[in-house]
Amino acid sequence: MRAQKKELEMITAKVSLTQALRSQRQFIAETGSGHHIVLDDAAGATGAKPIELVGVALAGCTAFDVITMLRQKHHQKVTAYEVHVEADQAERPPQVFTAIRLRHVLTGFGLDKTAVEQAIQLSEEKYCSVGAMLKEKAALETVYEIHEEPSSWLQPVPSPERVSA
């Protein structure tokens, strides 16, 4: 029996000008999965600039990878997780990213530093397609912070012992 090769899903998107007869450059973006995002420039300020979405895409891509590995492979109790992105751009067009700084901020119960480091490394080196594309042109620097969950009421409750009489 031959193994069937999994077909990769094609990524699609469409952007549509919202006000054709006006000077504004606002667009509505529609993803292939049917989600909508308002795009604009700094002057219009009614939506995200397209280059900002590249940063969002990188943060989202690595966040999905890292949280999946921490929860499913390492069984970590993560209660909060943020990925912050800062990127420097070239001075002249095309103003590609030249340096990107990622900061992972994780909160949870007894998070294992080694598990966090491994998950971030695997995301950067193997899984995150957005990062793989960006690091062709930009230097990528990653740091992380681990915080202990301060809310005692969120702590996992141990199963009660059963006593037989």
Do 95 and 128 fall within a single domain? yes
Do 79 and 147 fall within a single domain? yes
Q: How far is CA 38 from each of CA 27, 57, 75, 83, rounded to the nearest angstrom?
A: 6, 15, 37, 22
Res. 74: pLDDT tops 90: yes
| Residue 6 lies inside a defined structural domain of this protein | no
Domain residues for the domain of 42 are 13-48
Do 56 and 124 fall within a single domain? yes
The per-residue pLDDT for 7 is: 72
Do 29 and 78 fall within a single domain? no
Give the number of other Cβ atoms within 10 Å of residue 42's Cβ: 6
Average pLDDT, the chain: 92
* Structural domains of the chain, count: 2
Give the percent of the chain with pLDDT over 90: 81
Which residues are within 8 A (CB) of 157 and not within 5 positions of it... i.e. 6 or more apart? none
The per-residue pLDDT for 21 is: 83
State the pLDDT confidence band at 146, using cuts at 50, 70 and 90.
very high
Do 55 and 43 fall within a single domain? no
Instruction: Report the alpha-carbon distance of residue 88 to residue 99 in Å, rounded.
Output: 5
The per-residue pLDDT for 1 is: 47
Tell me what the mean pLDDT of segment 29-48 comes to.
95
State the pLDDT confidence band at 23, using cuts at 50, 70 and 90.
confident
Contacts 24+ apart (CB under 8 A), 119-124: 119/65, 119/66, 119/69, 119/70, 119/73, 119/74, 120/62, 120/66, 120/144, 122/65, 122/69, 123/61, 123/62, 123/65, 123/66, 123/69, 124/62
